[in-house]
A and B are shown apart, each in its own frame.
Chain A
Amino acid sequence: MRTPVFFLVSLAVGLALFFIARQYGNDYIFFAGYTVLQFIVLATAWNILGGYCGYVNFGSAAFFAMGAYTTVALTKFPNFANRYLPESIAWLAQGITYMPIPVFMLLGGLIAGLVGLGTGYLTLRLRGVFFAIATLALAVVLQTLIVNWDYVGGSRGAYVIRPATVPLIGNYVEYLFLLMMVLSVIALTVARGIERSQLGYGFATIRDDELAAEASGVPTLRLKLVATTLSGAFMGMAGAPFPYYIGFLEPSSAFGLAYAVNSIAMPMIGGTTSWVGPLLGAVLLGSLQQYATVTISSAVSLLVVGLLLVGFVIIAPNGIVGLFQKFVRHKEEPEIPLHDPAEETP
């Protein structure tokens, strides 16, 4: 299937789901569905860097929060301009009030993408582990910055007033759901497109043997920076509508470790080698968490995610997709035993 066709088909599937869900007339479906879609974007974005290039990002929450706080900063600006800035600027600033959420998403994506680029540029020239550690620390530092930044509410948090309705669609939650649906279709299309392009092959060479790739003339640093920027930008875009969804944003919820864990666990459990994995993982784990949060408690649902992550990386390193492929292969042909590198060298 060609990329534009894939885009249209998945968009159609998404819209069909949207209209089916609308028949039920139940807001909760959209509330829960939004979270699952958000995780599809996060997991796919993580996988562009983690699955395709083999670089682990522990700071998904930081990129997500960058997007969310871009929205908060923008919505606070008209008020701020009214109070402190000359009238002409204040008048211009009122325009922000009328900006639609997709604009916020683009800006949030831009900021998060730039942060990704910067972090990548400073750490990706070294061993991969340092990048992973830097992203972990990045989350802590950005949180410190936000906590100390009174303009966006500091540690007290910030309210974002959500309009009750939007023209054409009506219910606001349905509108947010629709936006996130389109974003996840875009993210999946981009991920699938990368897999089949030269870029994807370049990423795969980095994952398999970076030194050999470098030696064969693959511009590894540039490719890695493309991946970090793209991955960060999608996470930021996923975060931008979040303040509208939740209504009240505070640093500890925006930077919650749950985002970081989920965006690693979902691709790992689904399978990291293709776009299907993150999708599968996000739908399964996302729904499971929604269910467990409602019936048991949110802490228990997170525990389940953590245990599944540990279990899967030990037992099924290629995730559900890998298990499936193994099953299919077993049926078709007997597996040739691979030689164990550990036996050769101590």
Chain B
Amino acid sequence: MDFPVELLINALIAGILLGGFYAAVTVGVSISFGILDIVNIAHPAFIILGSYIAYIASSRLGLDPILVSILALPAFYYLGAAIYQVYYVSFEKRGQEALRGLAFFFGLLFVTEVVLILVFGVDYRYVSAPYIDETIRIGMFDLPLRMLIPFIISMLLLGGLQLYLTRTYTGRAIMAVAQDQFALQLMAADPIRIKRIAFGISIATASIAGALLIVIQPVEPSVGREYIGRVFAICVLGGLGSLPGTVIGALLLGIMESLTSTFYGPSWAPAVAFGFLLLTLAFRPAGIMGR
């Protein structure tokens, strides 16, 4: 039997598209964990929340799920800002973020999941949009729009955020707060306000990531858990807090997972992220683009 080149190339393409989507899922954690040092393990739960909002709006009102997620951005932003305020007052100010802050986010993750189960049940939900069933065929290669559109949106999101962080005053302040909070205060910027804005943005990305998720696959409340390992693996792999690193890490993981599920079976894919995470932590904890 000769090696199935066509299968390999299609798996690579699928992996790149998947990785692009993972970048959108991870970017929120790259900001909160990588830049602000807030270990928001509840991020995947907010992504699932975003998926359900996209689901409700598109099934009841017939709106496009991705459009809905963009409309929901302010709501997610203020949700994030509110969570940061609670986190700051209860943990950061008291210097207890290590143990209790983690437990707090874990509790949030769990509460969100259980509430979604109580409201929607554990059935898989999906959305319909005209592009979900279409596939572009170039020669022997498949480009399903269901994956291609999330990839494009995700790259736009990441590009936009990178420009925001490097070109605007607030964005630069966010990058600065990661390095030296005190110096930021000397520049007449309130570090707490900056962090609140940044955390709000990080949660806001969950809205878009959630809509992309439900475009790609049917969603039920506990799907988010599978993403915790992936998200942190990518975040660490890419070097904490670096958005280009996040994209590279996400693409690598996407390709690895796609190859694994093509050649070994899809039920093994979740284990890839953990292997990646452990290897990165053991050999290069600073990540690919680490400072």
Contact = CB atoms under 8 A, between A and B. Distances in A.
Interface of A: 50, 54, 56, 58, 122-123, 126, 128-130, 132-134, 136-138, 140-141, 143-145, 147-148, 257, 260-261, 264-265, 268, 272, 299-300, 302-303, 305-307, 309-310, 313-314, 317, 340-342, 345-346
A128 B232 CA distance: 14
A140 B114 contact: no
B244 interface: no
A148 B267 CA distance: 7
Contacts of B107: 261, 265, 306-307, 309-310, 313
Interface residues of B, number: 51
A44 B106 CA distance: 19
Given A134-B278, A137-B277, A264-B106, A144 B267 contact: yes
B142 interface: no
A133 B232 CA distance: 7
B111 A303 contact: yes
Interface string B104-119: 1011101101110110
Contacts of B113: 257
B256 to A, nearest CB: 14
Nearest to A345: B182
A66 to B, nearest CB: 15
Contacts of A58: 41, 106
Nearest to A346: B185
The 5 closest A-B CB pairs, nearest first, are A137-B229, A310-B107, A306-B111, A309-B107, A141-B274
A313 B232 contact: no
A310 B104 contact: yes
Interface stretch (B9-17, B49-57, B220-228): B220-228
B268 interface: yes
Contacts of A147: 267
Contacts of B228: 133, 136-137, 140
Given A138-B274, A303-B111, A306-B110, 11 more contacts: A50-B99, A123-B278, A126-B281, A140-B270, A140-B271, A143-B270, A272-B99, A310-B107, A314-B86, A314-B90, A341-B95
7 contacts: A130-B236, A136-B232, A137-B233, A143-B270, A144-B270, A303-B118, A313-B107
B285 interface: yes
A268 B100 contact: yes
B278 A346 contact: no
Given A132-B39, A314-B90, A299 B274 contact: no
A136 B224 CA distance: 12
B85 to A, nearest CB: 12
Contacts of A345: 182
Contacts of A141: 229, 270-271, 274-275
Contact of B118 (A56, A300, A310): A300
Nearest to B278: A122
A50 B114 CA distance: 24
A138 to B, nearest CB: 7
B94 interface: yes
Nearest to B39: A129
Interface in B148-190: 181-182, 185
B28 interface: no
A42 B95 CA distance: 27
Contacts of B281: 122-123, 126, 130, 134
Contacts of B185: 346
Contacts of A265: 103, 107
B90 A313 contact: yes
Contact of A257 (B103, B110, B273): B110
A264 B225 CA distance: 17
A345 B192 CA distance: 13
B65 interface: no
B191 A137 contact: no
B1 interface: no
Contact of A137 (B115, B232, B282): B232
B291 interface: no
Interface string B96-137: 101110111011101101110110000000000000000000
Tell which of B98, B236, B285 has the most Cβ of chain A within 10 Å.
B98
B93 interface: yes
A314 B228 CA distance: 23
Given A56-B102, A134-B277, A264-B103, A317 B111 contact: no
B79 to A, nearest CB: 15
Nearest to B229: A137
A124 B86 CA distance: 29
Contacts of B282: 122
Interface in B268-290: 268, 270-271, 273-275, 277-278, 281-282, 285
Contact of A132 (B102, B181, B265): B102
Contacts of B278: 122-123, 134
B114 A133 contact: no
B223 to A, nearest CB: 12
Nearest to B269: A144
